[in-house]
Structure 1
Amino acid sequence: MATFLFLIPPGAKSQDEKARIIRDRFSWIAFFVPFIWLLWHRAFLAAALVFAIEALGSVLSEHPVFGLAGLGICLATNLLVALEGPTMIVAGLTRAGWRVDAAISANDRATAEEIYYMDITTGEAETRRTVSLPAAETSPRRHAPMLGLVGFKEGR
């Protein structure tokens, strides 16, 4: 089962027909050509950064001593983009004012769309929402320091 994120544009209502659907999964295309994949998804700053890191890795891979390090840098960059690429796209859209309306687990995209838009006809739009955990600052429980370290916002 895959998770599909439904993002709606700024000012749109829930279940808008202009919702953008992003499948949160590993992308083989992003693994093999991360620079082009990021450009295709309009993540220009990330594409420039990946291009610079890949160029550094390819220069290092030609060096007799640092050859494996250069290949490791290129492989790690490709793997990072393949795993976190959809998350980068969602973060970019969120910065642009879009908001995540739903996160639906389904076998394929058609089933996820059916579940998402089904609420329009049944009127159960408020029953289907993602669960969000409370933020640390809103929690009534104080967090103790971990492993003997000073806790967050505790000070000395």
Structure 2
Amino acid sequence: MATFLVLIPPGAASGDEKARIIRDRFSWIALFLPVLWLLWHRAWLAAALAFAVQSLGSAVADHPLFGLAGLGICLATNLLVALEGPSMVVAGLTRRGWTVDAVITADDRATAEEIYYMQTPAGEAEPRESVLLPASETSPRRHAPMLGLVGFKEGR
């Protein structure tokens, strides 16, 4: 079973046909081609940052003493994009005004689309309340950073 996030454009009603369904999963393509994967998904800022970090890692990898550290930087960048790439895409869409309308657990994308459009009334005039994710900033409960770690507003 996979988790799918359904995002609707600004001002659209729930069940809009322009909704984007994004699967939250590990991406093998993003592991091997992180910058191209981010560009394909229109995450321009994240792609530029990944390119800069990988360029730095490649420059450090040429040094005889720090070569292994440079390879580690490149590998860490690839792994971060492969694990968190869909979250970067969702964050970019929410910055542009899109809202998370539903979180669906399904076997594949076709099943997730079927579940989403079957549970949404076709003639709904106004948008539904936005879905509150566990890492949402709207949570009344706040935690301080633990063990010297940086706080991430209760997110991952």
Any gaps of 5 or more consecutive residues in structure 1?
A: 124-128, 148-156
Which residue, out of 123, 138, 148, partners 2:140? Answer: 138
Within the alignment, does 1:26 sit opposite 2:26 as a pair? Answer: yes
Please report how far the alpha carbon of residue 138 of structure 1 lies from its aligned counterpart in structure 2 after TM superposition.
Answer: 2.9
Which amino acid is 1:64 matched to? Answer: P
C-alpha separation in 1, matches of 2:98 and 2:137? 21
Any gaps of 5 or more consecutive residues in structure 2?
A: 124-129, 148-156
Within the alignment, does 1:7 sit opposite 2:20 as a pair? Answer: no
Say which one has the larger Rg: 1
Residues 36-92 of structure 1: CA deviation (Å, up to 9, x unaligned): 111111111111111111111111111111010000000000000010000000000
Normalising by structure 1, report the TM-score. Answer: 0.79
Q: What SS class does the counterpart of residue 138 from structure 1 fall into?
A: coil
C-alpha separation in 2, matches of 1:65 and 1:99? 48
Superposed CA RMSD in Å reads: 2.7
- Identical-residue share of aligned pairs (%): 72
Please report how far the alpha carbon of residue 120 of structure 1 lies from its aligned counterpart in structure 2 after TM superposition.
Answer: 3.6
**Number of the residue aligned with 2:59:** 59
1:111-126 equivalent positions in 2, closer than 5 A: 111-120=111-120
Please report how far the alpha carbon of residue 3 of structure 1 lies from its aligned counterpart in structure 2 after TM superposition.
Answer: 0.3
Q: What SS class does the counterpart of residue 13 from structure 2 fall into?
A: coil
Aligned residues: 140
Residues 8-54 of structure 1: CA deviation (Å, up to 9, x unaligned): 00000111111001000001111101111111111111111111111
Normalising by structure 2, report the TM-score. Answer: 0.79
